[in-house]
Structure 1
Protein backbone atom coordinates (compact mmCIF):
# COMPACT_ATOMS: atom_id res chain seq x y z
CA UNK A 1 0.00 0.00 0.00
CA UNK A 2 1.29 3.47 -0.88
CA UNK A 3 2.18 5.90 1.92
CA UNK A 4 -0.59 8.34 1.01
CA UNK A 5 -3.14 5.52 1.20
CA UNK A 6 -1.86 4.51 4.63
CA UNK A 7 -2.14 8.09 5.87
CA UNK A 8 -5.61 8.55 4.39
CA UNK A 9 -6.83 5.37 6.08
CA UNK A 10 -5.36 6.53 9.40
CA UNK A 11 -6.94 9.98 9.01
CA UNK A 12 -10.34 8.48 8.29
CA UNK A 13 -10.17 6.23 11.34
CA UNK A 14 -9.09 9.05 13.65
CA UNK A 15 -11.73 11.42 12.30
CA UNK A 16 -14.40 8.76 12.73
CA UNK A 17 -13.49 8.76 16.43
CA UNK A 18 -13.62 12.58 16.58
CA UNK A 19 -9.85 13.11 16.84
CA UNK A 20 -8.52 16.36 15.40
CA UNK A 21 -6.15 15.43 12.57
CA UNK A 22 -5.34 18.97 11.45
CA UNK A 23 -1.80 18.62 12.85
CA UNK A 24 -1.19 15.12 11.48
CA UNK A 25 2.09 15.06 9.59
CA UNK A 26 4.55 12.64 8.07
CA UNK A 27 8.15 13.20 9.28
CA UNK A 28 10.75 13.17 6.51
CA UNK A 29 12.87 10.53 8.20
CA UNK A 30 11.16 7.14 8.31
CA UNK A 31 13.24 4.49 10.01
CA UNK A 32 10.74 1.77 9.10
CA UNK A 33 10.68 2.76 5.44
CA UNK A 34 7.78 3.94 3.32
CA UNK A 35 5.89 0.69 3.89
CA UNK A 36 5.60 1.39 7.63
CA UNK A 37 5.43 5.18 8.07
CA UNK A 38 5.55 6.90 11.45
CA UNK A 39 3.08 9.78 11.80
CA UNK A 40 3.02 12.72 14.18
CA UNK A 41 0.23 14.57 15.98
CA UNK A 42 0.60 17.68 18.12
CA UNK A 43 -1.93 17.99 20.94
CA UNK A 44 -2.63 20.75 23.51
CA UNK A 45 -0.75 19.99 26.71
CA UNK A 46 -3.98 20.10 28.74
CA UNK A 47 -5.39 17.22 26.70
CA UNK A 48 -2.30 15.09 26.26
CA UNK A 49 -2.90 12.16 28.63
CA UNK A 50 -6.61 11.95 27.78
CA UNK A 51 -5.75 11.96 24.09
CA UNK A 52 -3.14 9.26 24.62
CA UNK A 53 -5.79 7.10 26.32
CA UNK A 54 -8.10 7.48 23.33
CA UNK A 55 -5.34 6.64 20.85
CA UNK A 56 -4.24 3.70 23.01
CA UNK A 57 -7.79 2.37 22.89
CA UNK A 58 -7.74 2.50 19.09
CA UNK A 59 -4.46 0.62 18.58
CA UNK A 60 -6.13 -2.58 17.38
CA UNK A 61 -8.13 -0.53 14.87
CA UNK A 62 -5.45 1.88 13.65
CA UNK A 63 -2.41 -0.39 13.90
CA UNK A 64 -0.47 2.49 15.49
CA UNK A 65 0.90 2.76 19.04
CA UNK A 66 0.92 6.34 20.45
CA UNK A 67 4.13 7.62 22.05
CA UNK A 68 4.10 10.98 23.83
CA UNK A 69 7.12 13.22 23.52
CA UNK A 70 8.90 12.24 20.33
CA UNK A 71 9.49 14.93 17.72
CA UNK A 72 13.25 14.53 17.12
CA UNK A 73 13.13 12.83 13.75
CA UNK A 74 16.45 12.97 11.96
CA UNK A 75 18.60 11.06 9.53
CA UNK A 76 20.15 7.96 11.09
CA UNK A 77 23.80 7.50 11.95
CA UNK A 78 25.98 5.81 9.37
CA UNK A 79 25.34 2.05 9.22
CA UNK A 80 22.36 2.33 11.55
CA UNK A 81 20.54 -0.94 12.21
CA UNK A 82 17.26 -1.52 10.43
CA UNK A 83 13.97 -1.98 12.29
CA UNK A 84 13.68 -5.68 11.52
CA UNK A 85 17.27 -6.33 12.62
CA UNK A 86 16.62 -4.70 16.00
CA UNK A 87 13.36 -6.59 16.48
CA UNK A 88 14.94 -9.93 15.66
CA UNK A 89 17.84 -9.23 18.04
CA UNK A 90 15.47 -8.09 20.79
CA UNK A 91 13.26 -11.16 20.58
CA UNK A 92 16.36 -13.37 20.65
CA UNK A 93 17.69 -11.88 23.90
CA UNK A 94 17.25 -13.91 27.09
CA UNK A 95 16.38 -10.96 29.31
CA UNK A 96 16.95 -12.88 32.54
CA UNK A 97 20.44 -13.79 31.38
CA UNK A 98 21.06 -10.15 30.39
CA UNK A 99 19.96 -8.95 33.84
CA UNK A 100 22.18 -11.54 35.51
CA UNK A 101 25.20 -10.56 33.43
CA UNK A 102 24.68 -6.81 33.79
CA UNK A 103 23.97 -7.16 37.51
CA UNK A 104 27.21 -8.97 38.36
CA UNK A 105 28.67 -5.84 39.93
CA UNK A 106 25.38 -4.65 41.43
CA UNK A 107 25.29 -5.22 45.16
CA UNK A 108 22.22 -4.23 47.16
CA UNK A 109 21.94 -4.69 50.91
CA UNK A 110 18.44 -6.13 51.20
CA UNK A 111 18.55 -6.12 55.00
CA UNK A 112 19.61 -2.49 55.00
CA UNK A 113 16.86 -1.62 52.53
CA UNK A 114 14.27 -3.31 54.75
CA UNK A 115 15.46 -1.26 57.71
CA UNK A 116 14.56 1.82 55.70
CA UNK A 117 11.09 0.53 54.85
CA UNK A 118 9.60 3.48 56.71
CA UNK A 119 11.18 5.90 54.23
CA UNK A 120 8.26 7.76 52.61
CA UNK A 121 7.81 6.86 48.96
CA UNK A 122 8.17 9.36 46.15
CA UNK A 123 5.25 8.38 43.91
CA UNK A 124 6.20 8.74 40.29
CA UNK A 125 3.97 10.69 37.92
CA UNK A 126 4.40 11.31 34.22
CA UNK A 127 6.86 14.11 33.56
CA UNK A 128 7.73 13.97 29.88
CA UNK A 129 4.23 15.00 28.67
CA UNK A 130 4.72 18.37 30.35
CA UNK A 131 8.22 19.09 29.09
CA UNK A 132 9.42 21.29 26.27
CA UNK A 133 10.09 19.81 22.87
CA UNK A 134 12.56 21.24 20.35
CA UNK A 135 10.28 21.10 17.31
CA UNK A 136 6.92 21.73 18.96
CA UNK A 137 5.30 24.94 20.23
CA UNK A 138 5.30 25.25 24.07
CA UNK A 139 1.49 24.94 24.28
CA UNK A 140 1.53 21.64 22.40
CA UNK A 141 2.94 18.15 22.96
CA UNK A 142 3.94 15.72 20.19
CA UNK A 143 2.52 12.21 19.92
CA UNK A 144 4.30 9.90 17.53
CA UNK A 145 2.08 7.23 16.00
CA UNK A 146 4.29 4.19 15.48
CA UNK A 147 3.17 1.47 13.03
CA UNK A 148 2.88 -1.44 15.46
CA UNK A 149 0.26 -2.85 17.81
CA UNK A 150 3.02 -4.14 20.13
CA UNK A 151 4.53 -1.24 22.06
CA UNK A 152 7.73 -3.13 22.86
CA UNK A 153 8.62 -2.82 19.17
CA UNK A 154 8.67 1.00 19.40
CA UNK A 155 12.42 1.27 20.30
CA UNK A 156 13.19 -0.28 16.92
CA UNK A 157 11.41 2.64 15.21
CA UNK A 158 12.26 5.41 17.69
CA UNK A 159 15.71 4.60 19.07
CA UNK A 160 15.78 5.37 22.78
CA UNK A 161 19.49 4.55 23.18
CA UNK A 162 21.25 7.89 23.59
CA UNK A 163 24.78 6.77 24.47
CA UNK A 164 26.86 3.66 23.95
CA UNK A 165 26.59 2.78 27.65
CA UNK A 166 22.76 2.85 27.61
CA UNK A 167 20.89 -0.42 27.05
CA UNK A 168 20.80 -1.12 23.32
CA UNK A 169 17.59 -0.68 21.36
CA UNK A 170 17.34 -4.49 21.10
CA UNK A 171 17.55 -4.74 24.91
CA UNK A 172 14.86 -2.08 25.18
CA UNK A 173 12.61 -4.26 23.02
CA UNK A 174 13.29 -7.36 25.13
CA UNK A 175 12.88 -5.56 28.47
CA UNK A 176 9.61 -3.87 27.54
CA UNK A 177 8.16 -7.16 26.30
CA UNK A 178 9.21 -8.92 29.51
CA UNK A 179 7.72 -6.27 31.78
CA UNK A 180 4.51 -6.22 29.78
CA UNK A 181 4.11 -9.96 30.23
CA UNK A 182 5.04 -9.83 33.93
CA UNK A 183 3.38 -6.63 35.14
CA UNK A 184 1.15 -5.40 32.35
CA UNK A 185 3.47 -2.44 31.76
CA UNK A 186 2.77 -0.25 28.70
CA UNK A 187 4.81 2.45 27.03
CA UNK A 188 3.29 5.93 27.36
CA UNK A 189 6.08 8.43 26.70
CA UNK A 190 9.60 8.25 25.31
CA UNK A 191 12.42 10.44 24.09
CA UNK A 192 16.13 9.78 23.63
CA UNK A 193 17.42 8.39 26.97
CA UNK A 194 13.98 8.64 28.62
CA UNK A 195 11.15 6.11 29.01
CA UNK A 196 7.87 6.43 30.92
CA UNK A 197 5.44 3.54 31.37
CA UNK A 198 2.12 2.88 33.05
CA UNK A 199 1.62 -0.38 34.93
CA UNK A 200 -1.67 -2.25 35.01
CA UNK A 201 -0.68 -4.94 37.57
CA UNK A 202 2.06 -3.47 39.79
CA UNK A 203 3.75 -5.53 42.52
CA UNK A 204 1.71 -5.77 45.71
CA UNK A 205 4.31 -7.29 48.05
CA UNK A 206 7.62 -5.96 49.32
CA UNK A 207 9.45 -9.00 47.96
CA UNK A 208 8.16 -8.54 44.42
CA UNK A 209 8.77 -4.78 44.53
CA UNK A 210 12.33 -5.38 45.77
CA UNK A 211 13.11 -7.83 42.94
CA UNK A 212 11.58 -5.47 40.40
CA UNK A 213 13.58 -2.56 41.79
CA UNK A 214 16.78 -4.60 41.30
CA UNK A 215 15.84 -5.16 37.67
CA UNK A 216 15.09 -1.49 37.15
CA UNK A 217 18.32 -0.44 38.85
CA UNK A 218 20.31 -2.67 36.50
CA UNK A 219 18.36 -1.33 33.54
CA UNK A 220 18.47 2.39 34.47
CA UNK A 221 20.71 3.10 37.51
CA UNK A 222 20.50 6.90 37.17
CA UNK A 223 16.96 6.88 38.56
CA UNK A 224 18.35 5.74 41.93
CA UNK A 225 21.88 7.14 41.80
CA UNK A 226 20.90 10.67 40.76
CA UNK A 227 17.16 11.22 40.93
CA UNK A 228 16.53 9.43 44.25
CA UNK A 229 19.97 10.37 45.60
CA UNK A 230 21.02 6.77 46.02
CA UNK A 231 17.98 5.78 48.06
CA UNK A 232 17.12 2.31 46.77
CA UNK A 233 14.49 1.81 49.47
CA UNK A 234 12.52 4.73 48.05
CA UNK A 235 12.43 3.06 44.65
CA UNK A 236 11.11 -0.15 46.21
CA UNK A 237 8.31 1.68 48.01
CA UNK A 238 7.51 3.68 44.87
CA UNK A 239 7.12 0.51 42.82
CA UNK A 240 4.92 -1.13 45.46
CA UNK A 241 1.37 -0.65 44.09
CA UNK A 242 2.79 2.10 41.86
CA UNK A 243 1.20 2.59 38.43
CA UNK A 244 3.88 4.81 36.82
CA UNK A 245 7.48 3.85 36.05
CA UNK A 246 10.12 6.37 35.03
CA UNK A 247 13.53 5.62 33.46
CA UNK A 248 16.29 8.00 32.56
CA UNK A 249 19.89 7.70 31.44
CA UNK A 250 22.28 10.62 31.90
Structure 2
Protein backbone atom coordinates (compact mmCIF):
# COMPACT_ATOMS: atom_id res chain seq x y z
CA UNK A 1 0.00 0.00 0.00
CA UNK A 2 1.23 3.51 -0.82
CA UNK A 3 2.72 5.52 2.03
CA UNK A 4 1.48 8.86 0.73
CA UNK A 5 -1.51 8.37 -1.55
CA UNK A 6 -4.74 9.06 0.27
CA UNK A 7 -6.91 6.01 0.91
CA UNK A 8 -10.60 7.02 1.08
CA UNK A 9 -12.77 5.53 3.82
CA UNK A 10 -15.60 4.80 1.38
CA UNK A 11 -14.86 2.44 -1.48
CA UNK A 12 -15.42 3.79 -4.98
CA UNK A 13 -18.05 1.12 -5.60
CA UNK A 14 -19.97 2.19 -2.51
CA UNK A 15 -19.77 5.87 -3.45
CA UNK A 16 -20.98 5.06 -6.96
CA UNK A 17 -23.89 3.00 -5.59
CA UNK A 18 -24.89 5.77 -3.17
CA UNK A 19 -24.90 8.35 -5.96
CA UNK A 20 -27.03 6.07 -8.16
CA UNK A 21 -29.66 5.95 -5.43
CA UNK A 22 -29.54 9.68 -4.70
CA UNK A 23 -29.57 10.77 -8.35
CA UNK A 24 -31.65 8.18 -10.21
CA UNK A 25 -32.46 10.54 -13.09
CA UNK A 26 -28.82 11.38 -13.85
CA UNK A 27 -26.80 8.22 -13.49
CA UNK A 28 -23.27 8.73 -12.14
CA UNK A 29 -20.15 8.09 -14.18
CA UNK A 30 -16.68 6.94 -13.20
CA UNK A 31 -13.35 7.08 -14.95
CA UNK A 32 -9.70 6.52 -14.10
CA UNK A 33 -6.60 8.58 -14.88
CA UNK A 34 -3.43 7.07 -16.32
CA UNK A 35 -1.99 7.19 -12.79
CA UNK A 36 -4.87 5.11 -11.43
CA UNK A 37 -6.85 7.88 -9.73
CA UNK A 38 -10.55 7.16 -9.95
CA UNK A 39 -12.92 10.07 -10.49
CA UNK A 40 -16.61 9.54 -9.77
CA UNK A 41 -19.08 12.14 -10.98
CA UNK A 42 -22.76 12.88 -11.17
CA UNK A 43 -24.84 15.55 -12.88
CA UNK A 44 -26.59 17.91 -10.46
CA UNK A 45 -29.21 20.54 -11.25
CA UNK A 46 -27.76 24.03 -11.37
CA UNK A 47 -30.01 25.37 -8.63
CA UNK A 48 -28.96 22.52 -6.30
CA UNK A 49 -25.27 22.07 -7.03
CA UNK A 50 -23.98 24.42 -4.31
CA UNK A 51 -26.15 22.77 -1.66
CA UNK A 52 -25.13 19.30 -2.79
CA UNK A 53 -21.45 20.33 -2.78
CA UNK A 54 -21.85 21.72 0.75
CA UNK A 55 -23.46 18.49 1.88
CA UNK A 56 -20.74 16.26 0.48
CA UNK A 57 -17.83 18.39 1.60
CA UNK A 58 -19.36 18.08 5.07
CA UNK A 59 -19.13 14.31 4.61
CA UNK A 60 -15.51 14.37 3.48
CA UNK A 61 -14.27 13.25 6.88
CA UNK A 62 -16.29 10.05 6.65
CA UNK A 63 -15.94 9.38 2.90
CA UNK A 64 -12.43 10.57 2.08
CA UNK A 65 -13.67 11.87 -1.30
CA UNK A 66 -13.42 15.60 -2.04
CA UNK A 67 -16.20 17.04 -4.24
CA UNK A 68 -15.70 19.85 -6.73
CA UNK A 69 -17.81 21.24 -9.57
CA UNK A 70 -16.77 20.82 -13.19
CA UNK A 71 -18.07 21.60 -16.66
CA UNK A 72 -17.12 18.16 -18.00
CA UNK A 73 -17.79 14.53 -17.27
CA UNK A 74 -15.19 12.33 -15.53
CA UNK A 75 -14.57 10.53 -18.81
CA UNK A 76 -13.99 13.79 -20.70
CA UNK A 77 -11.64 14.97 -17.95
CA UNK A 78 -9.45 11.86 -17.89
CA UNK A 79 -9.25 11.38 -21.67
CA UNK A 80 -8.16 13.53 -24.57
CA UNK A 81 -4.97 14.88 -23.00
CA UNK A 82 -6.67 17.36 -20.70
CA UNK A 83 -4.52 16.22 -17.77
CA UNK A 84 -0.74 16.18 -17.89
CA UNK A 85 0.67 13.28 -19.84
CA UNK A 86 3.37 11.04 -18.45
CA UNK A 87 2.03 10.92 -14.90
CA UNK A 88 1.86 7.25 -14.01
CA UNK A 89 1.35 5.70 -10.57
CA UNK A 90 5.03 6.04 -9.60
CA UNK A 91 5.23 9.68 -10.65
CA UNK A 92 1.99 10.46 -8.83
CA UNK A 93 3.31 8.79 -5.67
CA UNK A 94 6.36 11.06 -5.76
CA UNK A 95 4.23 14.15 -6.41
CA UNK A 96 1.92 13.40 -3.49
CA UNK A 97 4.89 12.60 -1.24
CA UNK A 98 6.32 16.02 -2.07
CA UNK A 99 3.05 17.72 -1.16
CA UNK A 100 2.59 15.77 2.08
CA UNK A 101 6.16 16.46 3.25
CA UNK A 102 6.64 20.05 2.05
CA UNK A 103 6.49 23.12 4.29
CA UNK A 104 3.52 24.58 2.45
CA UNK A 105 3.70 27.99 4.12
CA UNK A 106 7.35 28.43 3.16
CA UNK A 107 6.69 27.17 -0.36
CA UNK A 108 3.69 29.48 -0.75
CA UNK A 109 5.80 32.45 0.35
CA UNK A 110 8.53 31.50 -2.12
CA UNK A 111 6.00 31.24 -4.95
CA UNK A 112 4.64 34.71 -4.24
CA UNK A 113 8.09 36.32 -3.96
CA UNK A 114 9.22 34.66 -7.21
CA UNK A 115 6.10 35.90 -8.96
CA UNK A 116 6.64 39.47 -7.81
CA UNK A 117 10.29 39.50 -8.77
CA UNK A 118 9.39 37.99 -12.11
CA UNK A 119 6.77 40.65 -12.84
CA UNK A 120 9.16 43.59 -12.49
CA UNK A 121 12.86 43.72 -11.68
CA UNK A 122 13.19 46.29 -8.85
CA UNK A 123 16.74 47.06 -10.01
CA UNK A 124 15.34 48.77 -13.10
CA UNK A 125 12.79 50.92 -11.27
CA UNK A 126 13.39 54.56 -10.44
CA UNK A 127 13.06 55.55 -6.79
CA UNK A 128 9.47 56.76 -7.10
CA UNK A 129 8.48 53.75 -9.16
CA UNK A 130 10.07 51.44 -6.62
CA UNK A 131 7.96 52.97 -3.86
CA UNK A 132 4.79 52.48 -5.88
CA UNK A 133 5.80 48.88 -6.60
CA UNK A 134 6.36 48.20 -2.90
CA UNK A 135 2.99 49.79 -2.02
CA UNK A 136 1.26 47.04 -4.00
CA UNK A 137 3.48 44.07 -3.17
CA UNK A 138 4.25 44.60 0.52
CA UNK A 139 1.25 43.70 2.76
CA UNK A 140 2.49 46.04 5.52
CA UNK A 141 2.46 48.94 3.08
CA UNK A 142 -0.79 47.92 1.43
CA UNK A 143 -2.77 47.46 4.67
CA UNK A 144 -2.97 51.19 5.64
CA UNK A 145 -4.45 51.94 2.22
CA UNK A 146 -7.33 49.50 2.68
CA UNK A 147 -10.72 50.16 4.26
CA UNK A 148 -11.17 49.60 8.01
CA UNK A 149 -12.12 46.20 9.33
CA UNK A 150 -15.66 45.02 8.68
CA UNK A 151 -17.83 42.96 11.01
CA UNK A 152 -19.24 40.47 8.51
CA UNK A 153 -17.91 38.93 5.30
CA UNK A 154 -19.07 40.40 2.03
CA UNK A 155 -21.48 38.12 0.15
CA UNK A 156 -19.73 36.02 -2.45
CA UNK A 157 -21.31 35.08 -5.76
CA UNK A 158 -20.06 32.33 -8.03
CA UNK A 159 -19.03 33.60 -11.42
CA UNK A 160 -18.44 30.23 -13.03
CA UNK A 161 -21.43 28.24 -11.75
CA UNK A 162 -24.46 30.47 -12.40
CA UNK A 163 -27.95 29.10 -11.98
CA UNK A 164 -29.29 30.91 -15.04
CA UNK A 165 -28.79 28.63 -18.08
CA UNK A 166 -29.11 31.69 -20.34
CA UNK A 167 -25.88 33.25 -19.07
CA UNK A 168 -22.54 32.69 -20.77
CA UNK A 169 -21.52 29.80 -18.53
CA UNK A 170 -25.01 28.89 -17.46
CA UNK A 171 -26.37 25.40 -17.87
CA UNK A 172 -29.17 23.40 -16.33
CA UNK A 173 -26.81 20.78 -14.85
CA UNK A 174 -23.23 20.66 -13.63
CA UNK A 175 -20.92 17.76 -12.98
CA UNK A 176 -19.99 17.16 -9.37
CA UNK A 177 -16.72 15.21 -9.29
CA UNK A 178 -15.43 13.20 -6.35
CA UNK A 179 -11.67 12.66 -5.98
CA UNK A 180 -9.82 10.68 -3.29
CA UNK A 181 -7.92 13.48 -1.54
CA UNK A 182 -7.09 14.72 1.95
CA UNK A 183 -8.71 18.04 1.09
CA UNK A 184 -9.51 20.27 -1.83
CA UNK A 185 -5.93 21.54 -1.84
CA UNK A 186 -4.73 18.07 -2.89
CA UNK A 187 -7.05 17.73 -5.90
CA UNK A 188 -4.70 19.55 -8.34
CA UNK A 189 -2.01 17.00 -7.43
CA UNK A 190 -4.28 13.99 -7.83
CA UNK A 191 -5.41 15.45 -11.19
CA UNK A 192 -2.25 17.20 -12.46
CA UNK A 193 -3.10 19.68 -15.16
CA UNK A 194 -6.61 20.29 -13.83
CA UNK A 195 -5.66 23.97 -13.47
CA UNK A 196 -4.01 24.99 -16.71
CA UNK A 197 -4.17 27.44 -19.59
CA UNK A 198 -3.41 27.01 -23.25
CA UNK A 199 -1.13 30.04 -23.44
CA UNK A 200 0.96 29.21 -20.40
CA UNK A 201 -0.05 32.06 -18.09
CA UNK A 202 -0.57 29.48 -15.36
CA UNK A 203 2.75 27.69 -15.25
CA UNK A 204 3.02 26.41 -11.69
CA UNK A 205 3.54 22.74 -10.89
CA UNK A 206 0.75 21.02 -8.99
CA UNK A 207 2.74 21.05 -5.74
CA UNK A 208 2.74 24.87 -5.88
CA UNK A 209 -1.02 24.97 -6.41
CA UNK A 210 -1.39 22.64 -3.43
CA UNK A 211 0.90 24.77 -1.23
CA UNK A 212 -1.11 27.94 -1.78
CA UNK A 213 -4.50 26.24 -1.57
CA UNK A 214 -3.52 24.53 1.68
CA UNK A 215 -2.19 27.76 3.17
CA UNK A 216 -5.42 29.56 2.31
CA UNK A 217 -7.42 26.64 3.67
CA UNK A 218 -5.66 26.84 7.02
CA UNK A 219 -5.59 30.63 7.20
CA UNK A 220 -9.04 31.52 5.92
CA UNK A 221 -10.99 28.30 5.41
CA UNK A 222 -10.62 28.33 1.61
CA UNK A 223 -12.14 25.25 -0.03
CA UNK A 224 -11.88 24.18 -3.67
CA UNK A 225 -15.33 24.54 -5.23
CA UNK A 226 -14.91 24.80 -9.00
CA UNK A 227 -11.99 23.94 -11.26
CA UNK A 228 -11.88 23.66 -15.02
CA UNK A 229 -8.90 24.63 -17.15
CA UNK A 230 -8.09 28.29 -16.58
CA UNK A 231 -11.04 28.87 -14.24
CA UNK A 232 -10.90 28.34 -10.49
CA UNK A 233 -13.25 29.19 -7.65
CA UNK A 234 -12.82 28.86 -3.90
CA UNK A 235 -15.44 29.09 -1.17
CA UNK A 236 -14.04 30.97 1.83
CA UNK A 237 -15.40 30.08 5.25
CA UNK A 238 -13.40 32.68 7.24
CA UNK A 239 -12.39 35.47 4.87
CA UNK A 240 -9.96 38.08 6.22
CA UNK A 241 -11.92 41.10 7.41
CA UNK A 242 -9.23 43.39 8.87
CA UNK A 243 -6.89 45.45 6.65
CA UNK A 244 -3.64 43.60 7.50
CA UNK A 245 -5.06 40.12 6.86
CA UNK A 246 -6.86 41.31 3.73
CA UNK A 247 -3.62 42.86 2.47
CA UNK A 248 -1.78 39.59 3.04
CA UNK A 249 -4.40 37.63 1.14
CA UNK A 250 -4.57 40.18 -1.68
CA UNK A 251 -0.83 40.13 -2.30
CA UNK A 252 -0.74 36.33 -2.24
CA UNK A 253 -3.64 36.13 -4.67
CA UNK A 254 -1.95 38.65 -6.95
CA UNK A 255 1.24 36.60 -6.85
CA UNK A 256 -0.74 33.49 -7.77
CA UNK A 257 -3.08 34.95 -10.39
CA UNK A 258 -2.22 38.46 -11.53
CA UNK A 259 -4.53 37.99 -14.52
CA UNK A 260 -7.41 38.34 -12.04
CA UNK A 261 -5.92 40.38 -9.19
CA UNK A 262 -4.32 43.27 -11.06
CA UNK A 263 -5.18 45.81 -8.35
CA UNK A 264 -4.46 44.47 -4.84
CA UNK A 265 -6.14 47.47 -3.22
CA UNK A 266 -9.44 46.79 -4.99
CA UNK A 267 -9.13 43.09 -4.23
CA UNK A 268 -8.26 43.74 -0.59
CA UNK A 269 -11.37 45.85 -0.10
CA UNK A 270 -13.59 43.60 -2.20
CA UNK A 271 -13.22 39.98 -3.26
CA UNK A 272 -10.69 39.07 -0.56
CA UNK A 273 -13.20 39.91 2.20
CA UNK A 274 -15.98 37.94 0.54
CA UNK A 275 -17.01 34.31 0.81
CA UNK A 276 -16.02 33.50 -2.79
CA UNK A 277 -12.69 33.95 -4.53
CA UNK A 278 -12.99 33.72 -8.31
CA UNK A 279 -9.80 33.39 -10.34
CA UNK A 280 -9.02 32.96 -14.01
CA UNK A 281 -5.98 33.08 -16.24
CA UNK A 282 -6.09 34.74 -19.65
TM-score (norm 2): 0.70
CA shift at 1:239, angstroms?
4.1
Give the whole-Å Cα distance in 2 for the aligned partners of 1:209 and 1:115: 11
Alignment of 1:41-190 (within 5 A): 41-71=42-72, 72-73=76-77, 74-76=79-81, 77-80=84-87, 82-91=91-100, 92=102, 94-104=107-117, 105=119, 107-109=133-135, 117=147, 124-130=156-162, 138-158=171-191, 159-163=194-198, 164-166=200-202, 167-190=204-227
- Which residue in the other structure is 2:151 paired with? none
Question: Using the alignment, how far apart are the partners of 1:249 and 1:59 within structure 2?
Answer: 29
Name which of 216, 228, 232 aligns with 2:253. 216
Match of 1:193 in 2: 230
Deviation at 1:165, TM superposition (A): 3.7
Does the 8 A contact of 1:117 with 1:237 survive in 2?
yes
Report what 2:33 is aligned to. 30
* 2:45 maps to 1:19: no
Instruction: State the Cα RMSD in Å.
Output: 3.1
For the Cα contact (< 8 Å) 1:117–1:233, is it kept in 2? no
Structure 1 segments unaligned to the other structure (5+ residues): 226-230
1:126 is displaced (CA, Å) by: 0.9
Gap regions ≥5 residues in structure 2: 1-9, 121-132, 149-153
- After TM superposition, the score normalised by the length of structure 1 is 0.78
| Alpha-carbon offset, residue 221 of structure 1 | 0.4
SS at match of 1:109: helix
In 1: Cα distance, 2:250 partner to 2:233 partner: 15
Which is further off, 61-70 or 122-131?
Answer: 122-131
The verdict on how the C-alpha distance between 1:117 and 1:42 changes in structure 2, with shifts beyond 3 A counting, is same
**Cα distance in 2, alignment partners of residues 84 and 70 from structure 1:** 27
1:175-213 CA-partner distances (Å, limit 9, x unpaired):
111111111111111111121111111112111111210
TM superposition shift of 1:241: 3.4
* Distance in 2 of aligned mates of 1:209 and 1:61: 33
